[in-house]
């Protein structure tokens, strides 16, 4: 981990870069998969599942009985932990429901908005190096609360054609309506176009590898919505003298172990802190089961030392991290300067892991600097907002002349007539 002391702003550009990922090289391959699934449907899905997942499947659907039986294969302590996380996530996302508020913009003119759940959403849950049952919670709980009528889940099968029981158990707990043993770009294609087996959805959520990311981008071109652009996971930790080196190192490694292309960054005001944390990272890294992946991520990472914390805040805003840990004596004061971050973790006792699993906030967050313009997944991600307006006769009298004048100025006579004819027919 390289340490940079008070880097000048003309060097920031290179210190804002994430590990290189040329998704353009994958586009032709993924586009071929998408087109074949569009044209050949389930037959293409069977071929790709055999090729990429190493298992031949006649039926991609997971029967309800299999889903219900998965509970017997999940340890009781894990089920209790999942239930705790479920309850917290539900509590937090339920609080995002808003009451309808009608506004009278002028006498007799009333306007308001109401939420409607997206009828059918698709959730992609990776199952590669780790079964991400926690992502099922993060996506299916708000989908159910939003009133989505159908919640479709795709996750890649193992060599025996099964989905990890913890994923099935969590999906059942959260009210997922249909589950399919499909992974990779072919799963995204199936949900994009629909097949004889897999229904077409209207919005796709969930993380994945580079092939899944490209497939979601191509789905956008087909008129589907997606949760957000995505890249490898990342964390930026701000640590002062009061932060324990071991805690900061563990925070950095908790993201580094996600994958070889993840990035972790340390920002501090003392070089001794950066050096102490780096020594602790090396010690803890040697004990991790996923140390080879984490080591590759650490190679992409660095520490920055700023004498001035306001300068550090400017760098953080420029970097726009997915996860921002403020391991500081006064984290709320520093957080007040932050405009760009996916999720912020305040104080010495708040590791990023709690947000990944069970605090209640959503862990589906913008990466790769997209926190400059995107929010993480929330209840709003699963709804559309429909606007309403209602006029009384007096309301039409009050607002009508302004609309007539504006429509005439734009040479849209029919627009003017729609108002003028009504005004003419109103009683005096």
Q: Determine the Cα–Cα distance for residues 190 and 152; give it in Å rounded to an integer.
A: 11
204 φ, ψ (degrees, to nearest 5): -115, 135
Spatial contact of 112 and 388, defined as CB atoms under 8 Å apart? yes
Active site residue 56: no
- Closest alpha carbon to 163 in 81, 76, 86, 70: 70
State yes or no: 86 annotated in a binding site: no
Q: Determine the Cα–Cα distance for residues 364 and 204; give it in Å rounded to an integer.
A: 12
Spatial contact of 34 and 192, defined as CB atoms under 8 Å apart? yes
Q: Determine the Cα–Cα distance for residues 208 and 201; give it in Å rounded to an integer.
A: 18
150 φ, ψ (degrees, to nearest 5): -130, 130
State yes or no: 17 annotated in a binding site: no
Which residues have C-beta within 8 Å of that of residue 134, sequence separation ≥ 6?
Answer: 85, 170, 356, 357, 363
State yes or no: 375 annotated in a binding site: no
State yes or no: 363 annotated in a binding site: no
Q: Determine the Cα–Cα distance for residues 173 and 166; give it in Å rounded to an integer.
A: 10
- Spacing of C-alpha 56 from chain mean position: 31
Helix count (H) and strand count (E) of the chain?
17, 14
Strand order across the 383-391 sheet? 103-106, 109-117, 383-391
State yes or no: 315 annotated in a binding site: no
State yes or no: 323 annotated in a binding site: yes
State the maximum Cα–Cα separation within the chain, in Å, rounded to a whole number. Answer: 86
State yes or no: 410 annotated in a binding site: yes
State yes or no: 233 annotated in a binding site: yes
Active site residue 322: yes
Q: Which residues of 34-59 are buried (b: 16+ CB within 10 A; e: fewer)?
A: bebbbeebbebbbebbeeebeeebee
Place of tokens 């309808």: 100
Active-site option among 257, 280, 322, 352: 322
What secondary structure letter does DSSP report for 388? E
Active-site option among 247, 323, 352, 363: 323
User: What are residue 121's DSSP bridge partners?
Assistant: 151, 203
Query: Taken in order 222, 226, 228, 233, is the CA torsion positive or negative?
Result: negative
Q: Which helix (H) or strand (E) holds 40?
A: helix 27-40
Q: Which residue positions form the known binding site for Zn(2+)?
A: 255, 258, 356, 415
The set of catalytic residues is 322-323
The binding site for substrate consists of 233, 255, 258, 323, 356, 410, 415
Annotated binding site for NAD(+): 124, 186, 209
- Residues forming the annotated binding site? 124, 186, 209, 233, 255, 258, 323, 356, 410, 415
């Amino acid at each position: 981990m390289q340490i940079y002391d008070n880097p000048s702003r003309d060097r920031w550009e290179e210190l804002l870069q994430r590990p290189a990922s040329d998704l353009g090289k994958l586009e032709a391959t993924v586009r071929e998969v998408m087109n074949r699934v569009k044209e050949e449907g389930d037959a293409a899905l069977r071929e790709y599942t055999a090729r990429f997942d190493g298992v031949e499947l006649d039926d991609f659907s997971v029967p309800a009985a299999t889903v219900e039986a998965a509970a017997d294969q999940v340890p009781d302590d894990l089920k209790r932990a999942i239930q705790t996380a479920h309850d917290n996530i539900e509590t937090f996302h339920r609080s995002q429901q808003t009451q309808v508020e009608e506004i009278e913009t002028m006498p007799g003119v009333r306007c308001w908005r109401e939420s409607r759940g997206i009828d059918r959403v698709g959730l992609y849950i990776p199952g590669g190096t780790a079964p991400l049952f926690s992502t099922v919670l993060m996506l299916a709980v708000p989908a159910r609360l939003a009133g989505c009528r159908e919640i479709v889940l795709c996750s890649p099968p193992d060599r025996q054609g099964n989905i990890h029981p913890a994923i099935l158990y969590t999906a059942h707990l959260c009210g997922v309506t249909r589950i399919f043993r499909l992974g990779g770009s072919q799963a995204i294609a199936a949900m994009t176009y629909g097949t004889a087996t897999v229904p077409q959805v209207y919005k796709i959520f969930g993380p994945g590898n580079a092939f899944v990311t490209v497939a979601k981008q191509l789905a956008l071109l087909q008129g589907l919505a997606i949760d957000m652009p995505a890249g490898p996971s990342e964390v930026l930790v701000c640590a002062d003298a009061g932060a324990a080196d071991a805690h900061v190192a563990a925070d950095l490694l908790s993201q580094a172990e996600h994958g070889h292309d993840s990035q972790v960054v340390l920002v501090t005001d003392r070089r001794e802190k950066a050096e102490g944390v780096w020594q602790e990272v090396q010690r803890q890294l040697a004990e991790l089961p996923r140390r080879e992946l984490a080591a590759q991520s650490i190679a992409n990472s660095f520490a920055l030392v700023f004498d001035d914390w306001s300068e550090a805040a400017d760098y953080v805003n420029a970097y726009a991290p997915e996860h921002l840990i403020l391991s500081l004596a006064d984290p709320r004061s520093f957080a007040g300067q932050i405009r760009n971050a996916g999720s912020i973790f305040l104080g010495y006792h708040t590791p990023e892991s709690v947000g990944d699993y069970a605090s209640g906030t959503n862990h589906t967050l913008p990466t790769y600097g997209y926190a400059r313009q995107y929010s993480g997944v929330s209840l709003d991600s699963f709804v559309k907002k429909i606007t309403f307006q209602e006029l009384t006769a007096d309301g039409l009298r009050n607002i009508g002349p302004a609309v007539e004048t504006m429509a005439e100025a734009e040479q849209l006579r029919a627009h003017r007539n729609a108002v003028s004819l009504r005004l003419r027919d109103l009683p005096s």
